[in-house]
């Protein structure tokens, strides 16, 4: 039994079901996936809790749920920490064993990295400078108080709401800006209320498929490697399909009146500085900063190498 | 020794009441402070949101434990239909024993959940671990178990309850005995106990636990869902709007409102009946169809109607029906609950409910006019000066809905924040402006009564979530969807079947657990047949509103029988014409979607 927030019938749903079919094929029907999509099993913290009590055996989570399991994953919530898929996947691949160890210690097995797309800022008034965003009321998820505080400390105006209240919040003006992926903005119709999308990426929506160790132990070594193999193939497929889908969504929205706001080089530097402020705050509030430090140094080493190669 | 014991119980009881009231005030204080401090560039109150969510969990379970003490846990009360004597005593014994066993199972399940959370060490805020917040679950459920057993009916009842408790503990120790076993004998026992008067929450929770155990899923799966609902960011709106209603009903607000509506509508034929319908609707909007309206206003309005010469049976029927009028008008509790469960925007439901809600009020008021014309019951002359004086006196009460509508629809506050503002507003109006309510003498009493009522409702919602979680786990919604899509062809046919189904649900279930259990089943169906999600919500609540009046299980029927001291059968008969009129309204709401969607269309 595996739960996820991805909507039923979406690209992700299809890919996960395909993975389930592969699991069944490659284990002669010994492992069958029963998927609970679309949040029917609750939000991600609820899903994690259901894995703890043993009601569910697995989940395809985003950072929101992964951070409930281990705070080390909060690094992926930091705005503008990563600037490209290359950077992100270099870190994810290089540090896979570190993240695996973290999850292992909490009783979970990492099957693959997921990919939700790249989050952008969508807003009612164009957001170029950091202050442009500070002057608008920003949706933040009511289930994540730490993030609300992080925004506030840095002079932003977060408005914590339940996810279902986003569209109404945008309509009544309770919120004026949201951070989301182009695919979500299109399919949930949020973009009609937020005619501006910033071209600077905000953050990747990192995810992972995890399984509880209790369930994992019940599998034979052959079954385990079959499951891992299929899961890794899914990981590659997601990385191919999702960025493409995001791009298509952005195009479709642009045809329907969405304006992509370009950021100047000077403003980009300003955003980087703000991002470092966020990182410092996060660093100060974390109990164990080893993973955050390691992620940063891996990213910086990659950036230097990229800058070195012409 | 005995005196010491009773002093101890009374002291403990008072302590619980005070604790419940403090939790209530803490929720309001945190939310208002957060709203006040975050405007502009303020920082707000860090951790306010998670604190409020967990305090709501405390409120629910403290309130439920208090409700158990006062015998106020909601139950179907069909046991009342049995003749006095051995059959009623036997029924009580069975119902109590099953309730004790079910509550004991829930208590163990929540303990299991708590211990797991303790291992993981999550935090609420300010360094308070989640498991500490969860302590309220096993403690309250344990208290409820003991209290249900203690009042089971003399020493024989206590002995039987002890046996039931032992059986539940044994089952908790060896849950594997149920795995794969046939579930129907136990489920039949639970249903029988519910019909005989066991508390609804115990039966729903007990059923969820044994169904999960039958599938080999640990019983902690039930409290996980309880925790999920109790800590949902929108849930606090339910206790807070209820408290607003209590504060208004306690002061002389009801008299001021009756006066103002009488001054303006008293001159038309059937004026007093019309006034009764409007005032009841106004209060039910806040008290949320929990029956408070009949209890608080019934006496006053019944007296007014009989003074003006209305027939007793008419008055009885009118007031019984009016106790649930207004459930569709914002910010009524069922709208909020539906929004949480179906995950649709609550302000949209508020807007959608306005015309259907007014339609039902108009239908009942129209029946009152007809009665007025037929019997020539007393009418008052319209006096402009007096009318405006009455209007002026009731201005604060009348402005409350306006204030809320502006706050929510201008994007100044979420429905939850608006509910906290409503409490502050009602407190200021009742304690400071009108001075109807003494903060030291009356407020603690009102807070306690409200805690009891809210606890009785919230605990049902919380465990009903566990039952729904079983349905989802067993993939019943998707199976039902596949079946219905295959066998039902047109949306119209679907709506007709839905009407019949919901009427049956309303006959046997209360509106709260019905929403939590049934909505996840019908939402995918509605989507498959292209029914507007807001229309589906409104027609769902409208259909269940009928359930308040349908025998055998209709909350309003029992409350009216209790409040007006009339036999249940007489109340059934008196409510029958109202049931027919409201049924007509419900059909209109179901088949004329414009009633729901029209207003939003005009405004946007
Ligand atoms: Na009923
Ligand atoms: Na009912």
Distance CA(A175)–CA(A123), nearest Å, equals 9
Lowest-confidence region among A266-275, A291-300, B240-249: B240-249
Residue B22, pLDDT above cutoff 70? yes
More confidently predicted of B181 and A193: A193
List of chain B residues whose C-beta atoms are within 8 Å of the C-beta of residue A68: 122
How many other C-beta atoms lie within 10 A of the C-beta of residue A14? 13
**pLDDT at position A217:** 94
Lowest-confidence region among A52-61, A157-166, B97-106, B200-209: A157-166
**pLDDT at position B377:** 73
Tell me, rounded to whole angstroms, the distance of Cα B149 from its chain centroid.
25
CA B313 to ligand 1 center in whole angstroms: 20
Residue B163, pLDDT above cutoff 80? yes
Q: What is the pTM of this model?
A: 0.86
Distance CA(B402)–CA(A206), nearest Å, equals 44
**pLDDT at position B290:** 59
In whole angstroms, how far apart are CA B571 and each of B79, B298, B325, B414, B503? 17, 14, 17, 40, 19
**pLDDT at position A108:** 95
Residues 132-151 of A with CB under 8 A from B: 142-143, 145, 148-149
How many other C-beta atoms lie within 10 A of the C-beta of residue A289? 16
For residue range A228-243, what is the model confidence (pLDDT) as tens digits?
999 999 999 999 899 9
Q: What is the CA radius of gyration of chain A?
A: 19
By C-alpha distance, the chain B residue nearest A57 is: B217
Mean pLDDT of chain A: 90
Q: Please, which residues have CB less than 5 A from ligand 2, an ion?
A: B 510, 547, 554-555
Strand blocks (E) in B126-179: 128-129
* Mean pLDDT (whole number) for B528-549: 90
Residue B359, pLDDT above cutoff 90? yes
For residue range A88-100, what is the model confidence (pLDDT) as tens digits?
999 999 999 999 9
CB contact under 8 A, B218 and A53: yes
Distance CA(B120)–CA(B277), nearest Å, equals 53
- pLDDT tier at B289, thresholds 50, 70, 90: low
Q: Residue written as tokens 């007990």?
A: B206
**pLDDT at position B553:** 65
| Interface confidence (ipTM) of the complex | 0.84
List of chain A residues whose C-beta atoms are within 8 Å of the C-beta of residue B480: none
In whole angstroms, how far apart are CA B393 and each of A235, B256, B259, B263, B434? 68, 7, 9, 12, 9
Distance CA(A179)–CA(A122), nearest Å, equals 6
Question: Nearest Cβ partner of B218 from A43, A46, A54?
Answer: A54
Half-sphere exposure of B546 (CA within 13 A, CB side): 26
**pLDDT at position B406:** 86
* Mean pLDDT (whole number) for B248-265: 84
**Contact criterion met (CB below 8 Å) for A213 and A104:** yes
**Contact criterion met (CB below 8 Å) for B64 and B457:** no
For residue range B326-354, what is the model confidence (pLDDT) as tens digits?
889 988 888 988 988 888 888 889 999 99
> What angle (nearest 5°) sits at the alpha carbon of residue B344, between those of residues B341 and B350?
105
**pLDDT at position B11:** 78
Residue A121, pLDDT above cutoff 90? yes
Structural element, H or E, at residue A137:
strand A137-141
Q: What is the CA radius of gyration of chain B?
A: 24
For residue range A260-281, what is the model confidence (pLDDT) as tens digits?
999 999 999 999 999 999 899 8
With a pLDDT cut of 90, the percent of chain B lying above it is: 28
How many other C-beta atoms lie within 10 A of the C-beta of residue A25? 12
**pLDDT at position B245:** 84
**pLDDT at position A162:** 77
Pairing of strands A203-212, A108-123: antiparallel
Question: Nearest Cβ partner of B49 from A1, A145, A172?
Answer: A145
Q: Indicate the SS3 state at residue B530.
A: coil
């Amino acid at each position: 039994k595996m739960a996820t927030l991805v909507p039923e019938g979406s690209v992700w749903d299809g890919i996960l079901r395909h993975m389930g079919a592969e699991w069944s094929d490659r284990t002669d029907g010994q492992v069958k996936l029963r998927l609970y999509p679309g949040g029917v099993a609750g939000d991600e913290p609820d899903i994690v809790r259901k894995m703890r009590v043993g009601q569910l055996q697995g989940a395809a989570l985003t950072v929101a749920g992964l951070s409930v399991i281990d705070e080390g994953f909060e690094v992926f919530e930091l705005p503008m920490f990563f600037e490209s898929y290359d950077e992100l996947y270099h870190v994810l691949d290089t540090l896979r064993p570190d993240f695996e160890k973290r999850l292992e210690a909490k009783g979970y097995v990492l099957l693959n990295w997921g990919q939700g797309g790249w989050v952008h800022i969508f807003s009612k008034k164009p957001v170029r400078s950091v202050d442009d965003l500070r002057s608008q009321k920003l949706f933040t998820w009511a289930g994540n108080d730490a993030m609300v505080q992080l925004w506030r400390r840095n002079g932003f105006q977060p408005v914590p709401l339940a996810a279902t209240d986003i569209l109404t919040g945008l309509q009544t003006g309770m919120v004026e800006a949201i951070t989301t992926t182009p695919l979500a903005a299109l399919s949930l119709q949020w973009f009609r209320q937020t005619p501006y999308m910033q071209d600077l990426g905000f953050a990747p929506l990192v995810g992972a498929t995890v399984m509880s160790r209790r369930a994992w132990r019940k599998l034979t070594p052959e079954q385990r490697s079959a499951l891992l193999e299929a899961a890794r193939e899914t990981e590659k497929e997601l990385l191919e399909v999702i960025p493409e889908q995001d791009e298509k969504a952005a195009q479709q929205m642009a045809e329907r009146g969405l304006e992509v706001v370009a950021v100047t080089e000077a403003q980009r530097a300003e955003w980087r500085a703000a991002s470092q402020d966020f990182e410092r705050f996060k660093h100060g509030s974390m109990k164990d900063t080893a993973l955050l430090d390691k992620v940063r140094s891996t990213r910086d080493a990659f950036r230097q190498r990229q800058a070195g190669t012409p | 020794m005995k005196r010491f014991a009773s002093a101890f119980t009374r002291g403990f009881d008072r302590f619980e009441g005070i604790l419940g009231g403090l939790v209530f005030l803490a929720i309001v204080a945190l939310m208002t402070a957060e709203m006040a401090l975050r405007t502009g560039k303020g920082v707000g109150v860090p951790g306010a949101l998670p604190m409020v969510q967990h305090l709501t969990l405390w409120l629910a379970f403290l309130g439920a434990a208090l409700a158990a003490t006062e015998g106020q846990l909601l139950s179907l009360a069909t046991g009342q239909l049995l003749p006095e004597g051995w059959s009623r005593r036997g029924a009580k014994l069975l119902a109590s024993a099953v309730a004790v066993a079910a509550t004991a199972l829930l208590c163990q399940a929540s303990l299991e959940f708590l211990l797991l959370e303790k291992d993981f060490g999550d935090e609420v805020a300010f360094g308070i671990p989640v498991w500490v917040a969860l302590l309220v679950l096993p403690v309250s459920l344990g208290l409820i178990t003991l209290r249900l057993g203690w009042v089971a009916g003399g020493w024989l009842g206590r002995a039987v309850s002890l046996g039931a408790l032992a059986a539940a503990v044994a089952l908790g120790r060896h849950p594997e005995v149920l795995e794969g076993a046939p579930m129907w004998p136990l489920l039949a026992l639970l249903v029988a106990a519910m019909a005989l008067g066991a508390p609804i929450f115990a039966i729903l929770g007990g059923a969820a636990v044994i169904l999960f155990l039958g599938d080999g899923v640990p019983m902690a799966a039930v409290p996980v869902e309880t925790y999920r609902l109790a800590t949902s960011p929108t849930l606090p709106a339910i206790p807070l709007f209820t408290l607003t209603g209590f504060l208004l009903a306690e002061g002389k607000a009801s008299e001021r409102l009756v006066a103002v509506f009488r001054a303006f509508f008293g001159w038309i034929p059937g004026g007093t009946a019309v006034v009764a319908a409007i005032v009841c609707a106004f209060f039910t909007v806040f008290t949320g169809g929990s029956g408070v309206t009949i209890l608080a206003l019934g006496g006053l309005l019944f007296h007014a109607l009989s003074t003006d010469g209305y027939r007793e049976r008419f008055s009885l029927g009118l007031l019984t029906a009016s106790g649930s009028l207004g459930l569709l008008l914002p910010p009524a509790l069922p709208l909020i609950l539906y929004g949480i469960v179906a995950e649709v925007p609550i302000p949209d439901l508020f807007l959608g409910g306005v015309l259907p809600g007014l339609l039902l009020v108009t239908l009942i008021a129209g029946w009152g006019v007809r009665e007025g014309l037929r019997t020539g019951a007393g009418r008052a002359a319209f006096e402009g000066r007096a009318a405006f004086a009455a209007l002026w006196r009731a201005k604060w009460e009348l402005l409350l809905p306006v204030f809320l509508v502006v706050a929510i629809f201008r994007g100044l506050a979420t429905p939850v924040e608006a509910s906290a503002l409503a409490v502050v507003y009602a407190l200021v109006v009742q304690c400071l402006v009108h001075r109807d309510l003494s903060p030291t003498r009356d407020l603690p009493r009102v807070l306690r009564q409200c805690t009891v009522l809210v606890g009785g409702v919230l605990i049902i919602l919380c465990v009903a979530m566990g039952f729904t979680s079983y349905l989802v786990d067993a993939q019943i919604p998707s199976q039902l969807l596949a079946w219905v899509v295959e066998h039902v062809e047109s949306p119209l046919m679907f709506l007709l079947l839905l009407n019949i189904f919901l009427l049956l649900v309303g006959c046997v279930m209360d509106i709260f657990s019905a929403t939590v259990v049934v909505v996840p089943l019908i939402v995918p169906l509605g989507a498959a047949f292209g029914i507007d999600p807001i229309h589906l919500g409104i027609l769902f609540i409208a259909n269940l509103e009928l359930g308040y009046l349908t025998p055998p299980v209709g909350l309003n029927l029992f409350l009216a029988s209790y409040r007006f001291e009339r036999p249940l059968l007489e109340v059934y008969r008196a409510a029958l014409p109202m049931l027919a009129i409201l049924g007509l309204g419900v059909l209109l709401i179901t088949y004329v979607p414009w009633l729901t969607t029209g207003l939003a269309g005009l405004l946007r």
